[in-house]
């Protein structure tokens, strides 16, 4: 039978099976759910076995386990490594869920549950696409390996060391990942870049204690004044980061890439109005989609200090704090960025104040050339099923492990997602549009049969 007929016949049984997995609260960030994460891993082991995969193994780490499986019976054909994760985000605030997050429910053609789109639902599609080909044809047209982890939502803490130790086992011609989104309903996209990340905390200190603003105001440094002045020095009046060395490794946008961005047809006025803003803001000379997809940023995530209670308290604060994150692109080195930002802060601190910087997380950007033949094959697979070929995009977010896969395994990464940006991933009422569940299954089959 055709694959369309096969999946229509199996649809209810497959969705019932997916609901079982979504019912397991595999929240990796909470130690109280450690056994639930393990239960989700064992559920996956059983499902892979039933699907016909072989050499299924659970690898323990210092945190949550990694699951491996393969089917290697296509000599001379490419090997595709499918990556995904079975852990999910915490569910707070619980009162904002229409139905309980681990009691999956279908409403208006959407499957609601934590993990429905990020990432259990998308991983599940790969398993069922592989199972369909095995049942329909008795073998696979390519060699398949799977690496499914339980720590993506906490930064894939132990996966890089697993990749290094398992390079030979995981060796592949390409890594296939479904953990991203379409541009919008009916408009598929393949992400060819994810921004990197680094973060730091800044503390400014002045006197030994808070001081009375009447007795000392105008005669001593104010930690809040010093911090605000310091933070304002980080950007110029055109939206550029004013830190020497910050743009080292940032590539200029090529005419081809700008053309790809333009093809997305992003309506900036619609974005502005939808966010309730007077106007958009950012680095001069770039469109909104270019700013958030292909340019680096330095953002203040939190600024605090002094009296914050009800009413007035006339003090001169002795300390003030800020949290900063930078999104990185191209070949920017996160350690270099942290160092130059710290140097800038220390060089520009107001007289009479002291600044301390705590460097924190860091991850490199991921990039792949959209002309890579395997990405072109993936775009064609979308086109056959969706009726419109996938566009190549850059995503402003960060999935640090993508750079690790690309660098450690020396294989192209194909970010072939089926979610939508409005599916509330990481938020209450997370859901997955079943239209993309249906089309995603067919697209994955098409890709595996033509790669």
- Provide the 10 A C-beta neighbour count for residue 85: 29
pLDDT of residue 237: 96
Total residue count of the chain as it appears in this document: 451
β-bridge pairing 54-59 and 66-71: antiparallel
State which fold the 196-250+296-363 domain adopts.
Answer: Alpha-Beta Plaits (3.30.70)
How far, in Å, CA of 207 to CA of 195, rounded? 39
Cβ-contact 187, 391 below 8 angstroms: yes
pLDDT of residue 23: 98
Coil, strand or helix at 322: strand
For 25-59, give the DSSP string.
--BTT-GGGHHHHHHHHHHHHHHHHHHT-EEEEEE
How far, in Å, CA of 19 to CA of 13, rounded? 10
**φ/ψ of residue 105, rounded to 5:** -145, 140
Strand partners, 323: 201, 302
pLDDT of residue 38: 98
Is the torsion defined by CA of 80, 86, 89, 95 positive or negative? positive
- pTM to 2 decimal places: 0.87
Strand partners, 293: none
pLDDT of residue 397: 84
For 59-79, give the DSSP string.
E--SSS-EEEEEE---TTS-E
> Shortest CA distance to 44 belongs to which of 71, 66, 72, 61?
66
How far, in Å, CA of 410 to CA of 174, rounded? 9
Query: How do residues 264-273 score in pLDDT, each as one tens digit?
Result: 999 999 999 9
> Shortest CA distance to 207 belongs to which of 366, 352, 35?
352
pLDDT of residue 115: 98
Cβ-contact 420, 185 below 8 angstroms: yes
pLDDT of residue 134: 98
pLDDT of residue 400: 85
Torsion of CA 421, 383, 292, 263, to 10 degrees: -130
Mutual orientation of helices 3-22 and 120-137 as an angle, nearest 10°? 140
Domain locations in the chain as residue ranges: 3-194+365-450, 196-250+296-363
Please tell me what DSSP assigns to residue 110: E
Torsion of CA 305, 310, 313, 317, to 10 degrees: 0
**CATH assignment, 3-194+365-450:** 3.40.630.10
pLDDT of residue 280: 97
Show the low-confidence residues of the chain (pLDDT under 70). none
pLDDT of residue 328: 97
How far, in Å, CA of 430 to CA of 428, rounded? 6
Strand partners, 197: 327, 363
pLDDT of residue 155: 87
How far, in Å, CA of 107 to CA of 26, rounded? 23
Residues near 436 by Cβ (< 8 Å), separated by ≥ 6? 182, 418, 419, 420
**314 exposure class (CB count in 10 Å sphere: 0-12, 13-18, 19+):** exposed
pLDDT of residue 256: 83
Helix and strand counts by DSSP (H, E) for the chain: 14, 18
């Amino acid at each position: 039978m055709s694959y369309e007929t096969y999946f229509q016949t199996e649809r209810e049984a497959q969705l019932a099976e997916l609901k079982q997995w979504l019912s397991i609260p595999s929240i990796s960030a909470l130690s109280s759910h450690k056994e639930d994460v393990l239960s989700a891993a064992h559920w996956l082991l059983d499902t892979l076995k039933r699907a016909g995969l072989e050499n299924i193994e659970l690898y323990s780490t210092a945190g949550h386990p990694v699951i491996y499986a393969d089917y290697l019976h296509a000599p001379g054909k490419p090997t595709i490594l499918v990556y995904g994760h079975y852990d999910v985000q915490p569910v707070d605030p619980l009162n904002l869920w229409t139905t309980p997050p681990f009691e999956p429910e279908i409403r208006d053609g959407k499957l609601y549950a934590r993990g429905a789109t990020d990432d259990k639902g998308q991983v599940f599609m790969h398993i069922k696409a592989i199972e369909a080909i095995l049942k329909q044809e008795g073998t696979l047209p390519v060699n398949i390996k799977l690496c499914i982890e339980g720590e993506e939502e906490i930064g894939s803490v132990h996966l890089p060391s697993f990749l290094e130790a398992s390079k030979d086992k995981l060796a592949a011609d390409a890594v296939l990942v479904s953990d991203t989104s379409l541009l919008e309903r009916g408009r598929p996209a393949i992400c060819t870049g994810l921004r990197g990340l680094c973060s730091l905390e800044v503390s400014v200190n002045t006197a030994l204690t808070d001081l009375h603003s009447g007795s000392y105001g105008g005669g001593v440094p104010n930690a809040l004044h010093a911090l605000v002045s310091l933070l304002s020095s980080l950007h110029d009046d055109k939206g550029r980061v004013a830190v020497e060395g910050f743009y080292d490794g940032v590539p200029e946008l090529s005419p081809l890439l700008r053309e790809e961005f333009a093809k997305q047809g992003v309506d900036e006025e619609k974005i502005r109005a939808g966010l309730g803003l007077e106007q958009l803001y950012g680095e001069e000379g770039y469109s909104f989609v270019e700013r958030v997809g292909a340019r680096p940023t330095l953002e203040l995530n939190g600024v605090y200090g002094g009296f914050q209670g009800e009413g007035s308290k006339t003090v001169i604060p002795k300390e003030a704090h800020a949290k900063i994150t930078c999104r990185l692109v191209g070949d920017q080195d996160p350690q270099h960025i942290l160092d130059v930002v710290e140097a800038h802060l220390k060089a520009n601190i107001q007289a009479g104040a002291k600044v301390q910087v705590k460097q924190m997380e860091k991850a490199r950007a991921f990039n792949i050339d959209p002309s890579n033949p395997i990405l072109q094959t993936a775009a064609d697979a979308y086109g056959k099923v969706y009726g419109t070929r996938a566009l190549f995009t850059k995503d402003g977010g960060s999935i640090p492990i993508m750079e690790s896969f690309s660098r450690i395994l020396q294989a192209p990464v194909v970010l072939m997602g089926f979610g939508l940006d409005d599916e509330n991933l990481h938020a209450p009422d997370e859901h997955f549009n079943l239209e993309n569940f249906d089309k995603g299954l067919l697209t994955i089959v098409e890709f595996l049969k033509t790669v």
